[in-house]
Amino acid sequence: MWNRQRNQWNPVLAGVITVILLISGCGPRGPQGPQQMGPPEVGVVMIQPERIVLTKELPGRTAAYRVAEIRPQVNGLILKRSFKEGANVKAGDLLYQIDPSPYQAAYDQAAAAVSMAEANLTSLRLREKRFKQLAANRAVGQQDYDDALAALQHMEAQLKSSQAALVSARINLSYTPIKAPISGYIGRSSVTEGACYRRSKIFPKRPVTNF
């Protein structure tokens, strides 16, 4: 009898399961469906022409295109050195100072000789003019006038010589400060204070170079 009842329930269960499956299949779809994608993002780069500088480092050597040797123009005692070894100097910078005392004395002596010649020249010009008039009037002899004229000419020559000596003394005095002839790098110095250098002797190991 049990077997008969079980056989009667089997078709009923099968129908219920079928109805449930149909109902679930006809229901609204959830979020399981495929999602719609937006448009893809794309980057944009604007290309414009421009100038660039290409550089390349290469090993090499440098050579000075200007080298100036320092030569004192006058003899004398080095009083001081006014630069730092290995430093850059400018044209006209003081490098060494030679004792200017004897050259200052020579300049003062030449200046005094010029003043003396100018003073004597004024007196001799007046004398020559006076003797010229006297000689024309035969108040003095021609020899007296010739002597006065010769003395005047001698003093004129003496004045020119004194003026030239004054210029030479001024030049020598201007050479006592030894200055850099060009701008550039100055090397090691072998000259110290108290050294006595002669004219035109090169200061060793100390040229001024310009790169």
CATH code (residue 71):
2.40.50.100
What pLDDT score was predicted for residue 172?
Answer: 95
60: its two tokens: 């090499």
Looking at the structure, tell me whether residues 90 and 154 fall in a common domain.
no
**Residue 187 structural domain:** 64-99+181-211
- Rounded to whole angstroms, the Cα distance separating 137 from 17 reads 176
CB proximity list for 155: less than 8 A, separation 6 or greater = 117, 120, 121, 124
Looking at the structure, tell me whether residues 166 and 206 fall in a common domain.
no
Looking at the structure, tell me whether residues 142 and 195 fall in a common domain.
no
Question: How many structural domains are present in the chain?
Answer: 2
For residues 54 and 33, the model is more confident at 54
Identify whether 17 is part of a domain: no
- Rounded to whole angstroms, the Cα distance separating 201 from 67 reads 17
Q: Indicate the pTM of the whole model.
A: 0.61
Using the predicted structure, report yes or no on whether residue 116 has a pLDDT greater than 70: yes
- Rounded to whole angstroms, the Cα distance separating 97 from 28 reads 111
Considering only the C-alpha atoms of the chain, give the largest distance between any 2 of them, rounded to a whole number of Å.
Answer: 201
- Rounded to whole angstroms, the Cα distance separating 185 from 167 reads 33
Using the predicted structure, report yes or no on whether residue 68 has a pLDDT greater than 70: yes
Instruction: Please name the amino acid found at residue 73.
Output: Q
Looking at the structure, tell me whether residues 148 and 115 fall in a common domain.
yes
CATH of the domain at 117: 1.10.287.470
Taking residues 177-204, report their average pLDDT. Answer: 78
Other C-beta atoms lying within 10 Å of the C-beta of residue 112: 12
